[in-house]
Amino acid sequence: MEKTTIQEILDYFKLTENHSGASTGIKWEPGEGSIIVSKSPINSQLLGSVHSCTESQYEKLAEQALLAFGHWRGLPAPKRGEIIRQIGLGLRESKEMLGRLVSHEMGKPLQEGLGEVQEMIDICDFAVGLSRQLYGKTMPSERPQHQIMEQWHPLGPVGIISAFNFPVAVWSWNAMIAWVCGNVCIWKPSEKTPLSAIACQKIIAKILKENKLPEGISSLIIGDKTLGERLAKDKRIPLISATGSTKMGKAVAQHIGERLGKCILELGGNNAIVISNKANLDLAIRAAVFGAVGTAGQRCTSTRRLIIQRDVVEEVKERLKGAYAQLKVGDPLDENNHIGPLIDQEAAKQFESAIQKIKELGGREVIAGSILEGEGYESGCYVHPGVYELDPSAEIMKEETFAPLLYLIPYETLEEAIALHNNVPQGLSSAIMTQDVSEAHLFLSAIGSDCGIANVNIGTSGAEIGGAFGGEKETGGGRESGSDSWKAYMRRQTNTINFGQTLPLAQGIKFDL
Residues classed as catalytic: 266, 300
The residue type at 142: E
* Contact between 96 and 114 (Cβ < 8 Å): yes
Residue 105: HSE in the Cβ half-sphere, 13 Å Cα cutoff: 32
Task: Write the burial class of residue 129 (CB in 10 Å: 0-12 exposed, 13-18 middle, 19+ buried).
Answer: exposed
Q: Give 384's strand partners.
A: 370
Report the distance separating Cα 361 and Cα 339, nearest Å: 28
* Contact between 178 and 152 (Cβ < 8 Å): no
Report the distance separating Cα 275 and Cα 409, nearest Å: 10
**153: region left, alpha or beta (phi > 0 left; psi from -120 to 50 alpha):** beta
Give the chain's count of helices (H) and strands (E): 14, 25
Helices (H), 73-224: 77-93, 95-106, 110-130, 169-180, 194-210
* Contact between 188 and 159 (Cβ < 8 Å): yes
- DSSP annotation of 294 reads G
Report the distance separating Cα 151 and Cα 136, nearest Å: 5
**77-93 and 95-106 helices cross at what angle (nearest 10)?**
70
N- to C-terminal Cα separation, the chain: 80
CB environment 311-326: b (16+ within 10 A), e (fewer): ebbeebbebbeebbee
**234: region left, alpha or beta (phi > 0 left; psi from -120 to 50 alpha):** beta
Total Cβ atoms within 10 A of residue 97: 20
Q: Which of 305, 278, 277 is nearest to 408 (CA)?
A: 305
How big is the CA angle at 166 (ends 162 and 170), to the nearest 5 degrees?
A: 55
Report the largest interatomic distance among the alpha carbons of the chain, rounded to a whole angstrom: 91
Report the distance separating Cα 403 and Cα 297, nearest Å: 4
